[in-house]
Amino acid sequence: VNATCQLRFTTITAVFFEGLISFAMARQTADKNEWIIKGEIALSYMKRWESTKWNFENKIKLLEAEKMHCLGYFDLASKLYVDAVESSKRHKFFHELAMCLELQGLFFQGRNMAEEALTSLRRSVRCYRNWGADAVAERVELYIRHHFGH
């Protein structure tokens, strides 16, 4: 991102998702460190742009949770997922709340915490549906059926 460019919603959104994708790729590929660095760069931009907690807190908390997840700091990651969920609710970012809950559920599943995972994933489905993202809700429901038999 060019430091002299005017900050736009689309830029913020692109960098946020680049961070989420980077941390996900770090958990799935052999190039873990390369992807973590990319995620950290995105996180640093989000922190630099944070002018109010209202718009950025939940996004930063979610990126931090994903980073800690990658680095193996699971207790801290768990707390940051909760913080991201709470911030999304408090600031009424319901679409991002759904995403936070979904990623929290996947985190719990990876930690063999099936009950917590299922609770978070089901909550994400409700949030996606309330937001009108029925196709995304169906994708998560399919994931639940495939991995939990529900």
Q: What's the pTM value of the predicted model, to 2 decimals? A: 0.92
CB-based contact 137:128 (threshold 8 Å): yes
Residue 53 confidence class, pLDDT cut points 50, 70, 90:
confident
Predicted local confidence at residue 67, as pLDDT: 98
CB-based contact 69:26 (threshold 8 Å): no
Cα–Cα distance, 58 to 40 (Å, whole number): 16
Averaged pLDDT, 127-150: 96
* Residues with Cβ within 8 Å of residue 43, at least 6 apart in sequence: 19, 60, 63, 64, 67
Q: Give the rounded percent of residues in the chain with a pLDDT score beyond 90.
A: 86
Predicted local confidence at residue 1, as pLDDT: 56
